[in-house]
Structure 1
Amino acid sequence: MLNYLQWTVKELFDRTASAEPEPGGGGVCAMTGGLACGLLAMVARITSGKEKYRDVEVEIQEILGAIEGQREKLQDLARQDMEAFQQFMAALAMPRETEEQKAAREKSKQQAALLSAGVPLDIAAACVENLELAARLASLGSKLAISDVGVGTHLLEASLKGALVMVEANLPYLQDRQVVYHLAAEKERLALRGEELCRNVLETVKTRMK
């Protein structure tokens, strides 16, 4: 199991740039989403405890707690994405000399493919959930740090779009058409919701930056 959280920042950068397949697109999207959560959490903490924002303290604390939960979720999803790739490669390496071996290999391949599509979909869903939190924070957070909500929103948008690319890349490996239809429909829903949220958050941020 890759314990990427123990890597230094330089090791992460170097590993991503190397010929090693991990972290790949999905894992990087989860990590980027986690960094976006960090920015949102920072804004919430800058806002918390300030007299000027006393009336929204309870909601800010609620938002902060939710963001921290999302940050941990995305960290774990990055690990899951790397493990899903390992599982898929292990399935491809299984023997296929007999009919029984071919059947076992295909079954493992389908399970791994579903995981490889499902984890990025979970990453995308987490990004949308964080955009929902960013929308609340954009209206309530300290004006001094509101630009960081905008940066976090852009990062979440990129993570969302990237994760959905990874979903799409893995759908062709799945044989169950009903599963493919469900995943594709959810992919489209998340894309549309994310686009709407990004637009609204950035409009609020720009207004408050003036």
Structure 2
Amino acid sequence: MITVISLGGSIVAPDAVDEAFLKNFVSLIREFLETDAERRFIFVVGGGGPARVYQKAYREISAVTGKKAENNEADWIGVMATRLNAQLVRALMGAWCSQDVVTDPTQAVDMTGKVLVAAGWKPGFSSDNDAVLLAERFRADSVINLSNIERVYTDDPKKNPQAKPIDAISWPDFRTLVGDEWTPGKNVPFDPVASRRAAELGLRVICAAGRDLENLKKILRGEKFLGTTIG
């Protein structure tokens, strides 16, 4: 059984590396690996704070120097941040992960260990899309999307106090919420490009709070959990 987890950079490195979270996350994953011989994981790691800091610097310096900031360049900066975070996660997995960090999901080879770690691929979408492509490649029927939000809302709850949490939503309705266009650093529950491909595949995506590890245990065990199911 392969479980694909899109591990948001906002929980791995919101500003600096969240050492306490990673320690607990690695312990939880090892618990499942040691007690379930059939369990395997694919982690796709996002850029988080480092991506935002460097993208912001690029845009601000470009504005001062009179050079137009290009989305393509900003995306590449974000991709490199995902690779730094992914390398850290891979190292923490130790012997469970025997392969290099995957940077092109279309070229991923068969898993030789019980854990495979991937990072961003190229401009045009976030690491969420890489998670969808890897789910397709390894025939997983779902992606667990862990971020800094516990559920999808009808609107941005920080801006609209009337926004309501959603327990389950279809792909057409979800795509209406997030739109179709990707811009570097776009803050949505699941990347619009990834959403389009996931909808085509009939993939189920679970959006949940990444730091709530007890809730993650429930998801992994197939128990009732707090989050939003898309699809």
Bigger fraction of residues in strand: 2
Bigger fraction of residues in helix: 1
Q: Which has the larger radius of gyration?
A: 1
Q: Which has the higher contact order (CA 8 A, sep 6+)?
A: 1
Structure-2-length-normalised TM-score: 0.32
